[in-house]
Amino acid sequence: MPRSSTLMPMAVIEVSGLHRAYGDRKAVDGVSFAVEEGEIFGILGPNGAGKTTTVECVEGLRRPDTGRIRVAGYDPVADRGPVTRVLGAQLQESELQPKITAGEALELYAACCPDPADWRALAERLGLTGSLGTRFAKLSGGQKQRLFIALALVGNPRIVVLDELTTGLDPRARRDTWRLIEDVRASGVTVLLVTHFMEEAQRLCDRIALIDRGRITALDTPSGLIERTASGTEISFRPSAELDTEQLAALPSAVSVTRKDGRVVIHGTDETVSALLSLLAARGITAHQLRVTEATLDDAYLDLTGTGTDT
């Protein structure tokens, strides 16, 4: 039976002190996190950061060097059988037998699970009904990807691990897949999601762990991560009259003031915006081409992983 966690009540995935090296290279270097039941938990990070190794340890495909992992209370390596019954996995890179049809693959995987979902209904929701008779080798990249998602879900898992969920999908299929994942979560399934796409992480995830060089550099909600960035809001405009830089820098919450090609660029927060507008109004200065842009998860990502600056 699942044990209760000391980290967090209701944690369905617990990872603590995970280390995994390939030869001299430390792929995962002390990662700890806990995923609550019913949560969509994202793992975000640059290529080679250790995301896939981390989830492969959760899936039981790789044995950690050190560290403790529990999935619904089970050890993924020692309790292989029970873990495969509660966890469905979509792997980043893998194929099926070239001549197996999509329908046969779904039927086969359903037969391997103790309490399978209706694979025909699942195929319909993923837009695969028309390609059930198509052999794997003849499926398009997007169809293959949707088939792998279906195979991860066909066992009616409590937890589903999706590694690069929407890679290879066109924007429309990507949005359809996101809606499906939200539905899956709404039915009580916990989702562990590895992704490259900020938009996807921002849209789907309740919490995100940013992994860089094998370590978690930040773990927060998407909006929490955005708030952490130094430059929350960027204001830029072309003033109709000269403005004093020091006066602008003294605006509440302003972080930096720069000038470029006659444009003034101020990094700050919402507070800075309203103070600036009052200042301009008081001086009778017009702000031409005023642009206010909010920081996105992209900015947070670049700030927190240091991928923007070479080290």
User: Site for another protein (CB under 8 A): which residue of 29, 37, 65, 107?
Assistant: 107
Q: Decide: is 117 part of the binding site for another protein (CB under 8 A).
A: no
User: Site for another protein (CB under 8 A): which residue of 3, 25, 68, 80?
Assistant: 80
Taking phi over 0 as left and psi of -120 to 50 as alpha, with beta for the rest, 56 belongs to: alpha
Residues 45-64 that bind another protein (CB under 8 A): 59-63
Q: How far is the CB of 80 from another protein (least distance, A)?
A: 5
Cα dihedral 192→198→200→204 (10° resolution): 60
Q: Decide: is 93 part of the binding site for another protein (CB under 8 A).
A: yes
Q: How far is the CB of 37 from another protein (least distance, A)?
A: 20
Q: Closer CB to another protein, residue 110 or residue 198?
A: 110
| Amino acid (1-letter code) at residue 303 | D
Distances (CA, A) of 185 to 38, 114, 126, 149, 193: 6, 21, 16, 14, 12
Q: Decide: is 108 part of the binding site for another protein (CB under 8 A).
A: yes
Here the tokens at position 199 are: 């938009």
User: Site for another protein (CB under 8 A): which residue of 27, 40, 91, 254?
Assistant: 91
Q: Decide: is 95 part of the binding site for another protein (CB under 8 A).
A: yes
Query: Which of the stretches 85-93, 125-133, 198-206, 295-303 binds another protein when contact is defined by CB under 8 A?
Result: 85-93
Site mask for another protein (CB under 8 A), range 137-176, x = bound: --------------x---x---------------------
Q: Decide: is 99 part of the binding site for another protein (CB under 8 A).
A: yes
Alpha-carbon span 79 to 63, nearest angstrom: 12
Element (H, E) at 152: helix 141-153
CB 109 within 8 A of CB 123: no
Q: Which residues of 103-113 are buried (b: 16+ CB within 10 A; e: fewer)?
A: bbbbbebbeeb
Alpha-carbon span 233 to 227, nearest angstrom: 10
Q: Closer CB to another protein, residue 128 or residue 225?
A: 128
Q: Which residues bind another protein (CB under 8 A)?
A: 59-63, 76-78, 80-81, 84-85, 87-89, 91, 93-97, 99-100, 104, 107-109, 111-114, 151, 155
